[in-house]
């Protein structure tokens, strides 16, 4: 039997305000790392919904994606450690910029997120050895270079978001 290679689909919110970028500091198997508010695409959600959800869960801020920054791939190899086998993972990241909304009082940061930080571009560059992935810096640099694509380049067929209704017999 052949094992099919499947990259991990992720979304990221590239959030800039007053010349600073919103990052999260999070626990990882490699230690405390910096990342854009980001996470995995869940079954039954669009890329835009996933990005807004991940930004809220990791920063407690509402976020509305307004433009696609880019589509990125990176490969991560984690060596075996203790009872955990080695991992070889390819991430397919859809990065968005957009409008930062209000802080949602009463929420807590997602599990593993220690805190949020607002960093200048120079601070982001200077902290590269602490980045969870090289895409943290690449996305910021593309944002600063003015790279943007309209959301109309994305299409989510209704069968994706209606999948929950098909499985549960309810509405999506």
Q: How far apart are the first and last CA of the chain?
A: 35
For residue 172, what pLDDT is reported? Answer: 45
For residue 157, what pLDDT is reported? Answer: 92
For residue 87, what pLDDT is reported? Answer: 80
Q: Provide the whole-model pTM.
A: 0.89
**Cα–Cα distance between 52 and 23 in angstroms, integer?**
15
Mean pLDDT, contiguous 10-residue spans, the chain (172 residues): 85 98 95 97 95 98 98 88 82 97 96 98 98 97 98 94 59 46
**Cα–Cα distance between 140 and 12 in angstroms, integer?**
11
Which listed CATH number (3.40.1190.20, 3.40.50.10800, 3.40.640.10, 3.90.79.10) goes with 8-77+84-168? 3.90.79.10
105: which 2 tokens?
């009082």
């Amino acid at each position: 039997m052949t094992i099919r290679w499947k990259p991990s689909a992720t979304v990221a919110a590239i959030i800039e305000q007053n010349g600073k970028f919103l990052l999260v500091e999070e626990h990882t198997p490699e230690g405390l790392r910096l990342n854009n508010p980001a996470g995995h695409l869940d079954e039954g959600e669009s890329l835009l919904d996933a990005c807004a959800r991940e930004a809220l869960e990791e920063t407690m801020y509402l976020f509305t994606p307004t433009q696609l920054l880019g589509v990125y791939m990176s490969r991560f190899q984690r060596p075996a450690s203790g009872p955990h086998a080695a991992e070889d993972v390819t991430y397919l990241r859809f990065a968005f910029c957009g409008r930062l909304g209000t802080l949602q009082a009463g929420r807590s940061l997602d599990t593993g997120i220690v805190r949020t930080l607002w960093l200048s571009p120079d601070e982001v560059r200077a902290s590269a050895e602490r980045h969870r992935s090289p895409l943290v810096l690449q996305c910021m640099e593309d944002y600063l270079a003015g790279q943007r694509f309209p959301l109309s380049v994305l299409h989510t067929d209704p069968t994706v978001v209606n999948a929950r209704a098909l499985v549960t017999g309810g509405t999506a």
